[in-house]
Copies of this chain bind each other. A is one copy, B any other.
Amino acid sequence: MRRKTETKRDAILNAATLEFTERGYEGASISAIVGRLGASKQTLYRYFPSKDELFVEVMARIIDRHVTTPREDLEDTADVPGSLQRHGERYLKIRLSPEMVSLARLVFGESGRSDVSRLLHPRGKLKVAKDIGRFLTAAMEEGRLRVADPAVAALHYLALLDAELFEPVVLRVREPAANDEIAAAVDRAVDAFLAGYGREGKHA
């Protein structure tokens, strides 16, 4: 089988993603990964030199697959509340999806031991915060928001989005969030954000 390697590589990464997200880094076993697709360890080690590098690539793929999505919602500075609400719902739905929740557990849990978090942060949260910051800067320049540090404002906005649901879902102290719960939480977060950062006397 001289044929190309890309699809096999993908299959390995998919199986590895399952295993890592279910069992964590240490808990995941190479044998279990190859067992999931009927491949052999030899083959896996032909594509990836070690468990560590396989792990890093799995994480990077999860982030890249999910983080690019909700940018187009941040263009209409004429309707700040609407844009934030749309973006917030899309963002939080992704953030609370099973794959991203598993990713959060992994990256938090391994951040003491590994440097994977330092690798992934610029491609994940930092990127999102930068997009928000640009949007908020534009809105401030147009006088639609109170003038403030847009970087801090972006972090405050993201924190408010996470406030009600993220931690309980990740820690499994509540069931996964339904879509209407997400929308309601985003609504309250956007309200609080605009009350704090909107122009004086104006609400959402």
Q: Which residues of A contact B (CB under 8 A)?
A: 21-24, 26-27, 102, 104-113, 115, 117-118, 121, 125, 149, 152, 155-156, 158-160, 162-164, 167-168, 170-173, 188-189, 191-193, 195-197, 200-201
Contacts and interface: CB of A to CB of B under 8 A. Distances in A.
5 contacts: A24-B109, A105-B112, A159-B163, A195-B195, A195-B197
A42 to B, nearest CB: 26
Q: Lowest 8 A-B CB distances belong to which pairs?
A: A109-B109, A159-B163, A196-B196, A26-B26, A108-B108, A195-B196, A117-B171, A159-B159
Given A105-B109, A105-B112, A196-B195, A160 B167 contact: no
A107 B160 contact: no
Contacts of A104: 108
B108 A105 contact: yes
Given A163-B155, A163-B159, A171 B108 contact: yes
A164 B155 contact: yes
A121 B171 contact: yes
A164 B152 contact: yes
Contacts of A188: 149, 152, 156
